[in-house]
Amino acid sequence: MSFISEKYQGIPTGFRKILHFHWPIALLLTSVSFIGFLMLFSVSGGNFNKWAEPQIIRFCIGFIAMIVISFTPISIWRSMSIPTYLISLILLFYVEYFGITGKGAQRWIDLGFIRLQPSEFMKIALVMVIALYYDWLGEDKVSKLRWLLPPILLTALPMILVLNQPDLGTAILLASGAAVVMLLAGVSLWYFMAGISSIAGLVYAVIISRGTEFQILKNYQYQRIETFLDPSSDPLGTGYHITQSKIALGSGGYSGRGFMQGTQSQLNFLPEKHTDFIFTTFAEEFGFLGGIILLLLYILIIFFCYLTAMQNHNRYSALLTLGIAATFFFYFSVNMLMVMGLAPVVGVPLPLMSYGGSAMLVLLGAFGLVQSAHIHKAR
């Protein structure tokens, strides 16, 4: 039955799938990862084994996973949406109470060969489940208030868990990913405006109520917000990073100091130079030009996602593709805003470049889903 219907819809089967594999996206992902390997090699001072080698191994595993996911029909992944979400949620609960805490907030499960961060999986699982929800929901109900409740609950649950860790960066990415899928699904724009203005209003109320009789938060909570917004009040921590990061970025100039010539990063000014702050080193060594090229590579990946999604008549596939693309976009833009001093440091890695296993595997897996949606679409 399914074979006939797929044939009828023009969905490729068997070896014909290879013909429809989205090679440009795969090539772009590999290029960005390759730049990542070069930078890891550079920041370790020319030590291949320290960071570059494990990262390459992870990339290879992730790439194979991507291919396997690509050739599995998207209908199977569609039916896996709810289980994936539930498992990610359980794992999030698990790390909340039994996980290993490292670097302050990030929590993971140690499987021996890899440290799993369930929050990374949740970013994709949430997009999957909300895409499924809107695929299932009738068109006419999309903007009804009570049908808005399930996706909000689905998002709020993992958000509360990651905020509790506390991991603000992941919480922002989760909320943005969910909001994008809802936007694409056609939820009335008035809701978004209402949501944005109520958040803005709340922030405004919190700020101006300070010092009055109607003060909303406690004094120490205000102080926490202050340190969060102004990291220079913690000069040996985040503030120092940002200052040094800006110096490194700026000293790169137009074309950079050259590969492995960045003095700021080579002199160990940045403790997170191989993870969240890797863009700093890149921009110092390859300058403004390098930075723009990297940005273009990222945007091209997103662009191809748009192209395939626009031609996909399967609502789940289309929503999933752009949801993943948006999550990927938020990843690199929040990271870049952060290291360039335009956003507070919230701990978001640069996708495919920063050293780290979970993010690499999850992102490549997610692009496997994009590929699967692309391969198995009606033509």
Partner 1 sequence: MNLPLKTPRRFRRRALLLAGMQLGLAGTLAWRMNQLGVKESDKFRLLAEENRINIRLQPPSRGIIYDRSGNTLALNRQVYTIEIIREQATDPEAVLNRLAELIPLSKIRISEILKELSRRRAFVPVTVATGLEWEHIAAVSANSPSLPGIIPKLGLNRKYPIGADFAHVIGYVGPVSDYDLSQINDKDPLLLIPRFQIGKNGIEAKVEKPLRGKAGYKTIEVNSVGRVMRVLKDQSGSPGVNLQLTIGHDLQRFATERMQGESSAAVVMDVNNGDVLALASAPTFDPNKFVNGISVSDWEALNDNKYRPLANKTVQGLYPPGSTFKMVVALAALTDGVINKNEEIFCPGHKDINGRKFHCWRKGGHGKVSLREALRYSCDVFFYDIAIRVGIEKITETAKALGLGIKHDLPLPAVRTGLMPTKQWKRKNKKQDWFIGDTANAGIGQGFVLASPLQLATMTARLASGLILQPRMLNMIDNKSTFINENQKLNFKTEHLNLIRTGMYDVSNHPRGTAFSSRIDEKYKMAGKTGTSQVRFISKKEREGGVTKNEDLPWNRRDHALFVGYAPYKNPRYSISVIVEHGGAGSRKAAPIARDIMKKALSLGENSYGPMPNQIRSDKIKKSGKTV
User: How many angstroms separate the CA atoms of 249 and 281, rounded?
Assistant: 7
Find out whether 364 and 59 touch, Cβ atoms under 8 Å: yes
Q: Please state the separation of Cα 229 from the chain's center in Å.
A: 22
In sequence order, the β-bridge partners of residue 116 are 109
Which of residues 41, 316, 329, 331 is near partner 1 by CB under 8 A? 329
Burial class (CB in 10 A: 0-12, 13-18, 19+), 268: exposed
Under the binding rule (CB under 8 A), the answer on residue 44 touching partner 1 is no
Give whichever of 68 and 299 is closer to partner 1, judged by the CB atom.
299
| Span interacting with partner 1, options 28-36, 150-158, 252-260, 365-373, rule CB under 8 A | 252-260
Give whichever of 116 and 184 is closer to partner 1, judged by the CB atom.
184
| Span interacting with partner 1, options 24-32, 152-160, 328-336, 365-373, rule CB under 8 A | 328-336
Which of residues 162, 302, 320, 363 is near partner 1 by CB under 8 A? 302
| Span interacting with partner 1, options 123-131, 154-162, 165-173, 245-253, rule CB under 8 A | 245-253
**What values do phi and psi take at 260, rounded to 5?**
65, 20
Find out whether 88 and 121 touch, Cβ atoms under 8 Å: yes
In sequence order, the β-bridge partners of residue 108 are 100
* Shortest separation between residue 373's beta carbon and partner 1, angstroms: 14
Which of residues 264, 317, 327, 358 is near partner 1 by CB under 8 A? 264
Under the binding rule (CB under 8 A), the answer on residue 240 touching partner 1 is yes
Give whichever of 54 and 195 is closer to partner 1, judged by the CB atom.
195
Give whichever of 150 and 253 is closer to partner 1, judged by the CB atom.
253
Under the binding rule (CB under 8 A), the answer on residue 193 touching partner 1 is no
The alpha helices in the chain, defined as continuous H runs, are 2-9, 16-20, 23-43, 53-70, 74-79, 81-98, 118-136, 145-163, 168-185, 189-208, 219-229, 238-251, 263-266, 278-310, 315-339, 357-375
* Shortest separation between residue 12's beta carbon and partner 1, angstroms: 16
| Beta-sheet pairing, 107-110 with 115-116 | antiparallel
Q: What are the C-alpha distances in Å from 28 to residues 22, 64, 305, 330, 352? A: 10, 16, 12, 18, 11
| Span interacting with partner 1, options 25-33, 70-78, 110-118, 177-185, rule CB under 8 A | 177-185
| Span interacting with partner 1, options 16-24, 215-223, 231-239, 352-360, rule CB under 8 A | 231-239
Going residue by residue from 347 to 366, which x/- string records binding to partner 1, judged by CB under 8 A?
--------------------
- Give me the residue label for tokens 């200052």: 243
DSSP assignments along 34-73, one per residue: HHHHHHHHHHTTS-IIIIIHHHHHHHHHHHHHHHHHHTS-
Give whichever of 228 and 288 is closer to partner 1, judged by the CB atom.
288
Under the binding rule (CB under 8 A), the answer on residue 94 touching partner 1 is no
Give whichever of 130 and 161 is closer to partner 1, judged by the CB atom.
130
Buried b (16+ CB within 10 A) or exposed e, 337-365: ebbbeebbbbbbbbbbbbbbbbbbbbbbb
3-state secondary structure at position 109: strand
Give whichever of 18 and 101 is closer to partner 1, judged by the CB atom.
101
Which of residues 94, 136, 259, 306 is near partner 1 by CB under 8 A? 306
Q: Which residues bind partner 1 (CB under 8 A)?
A: 9, 139, 180, 183-184, 186, 232, 235-236, 240, 243, 246-254, 263-264, 267-269, 271, 283, 287-288, 291-292, 295, 299, 302, 306, 309-310, 313, 315, 318, 322, 326, 329, 333, 336-337, 340, 342, 378
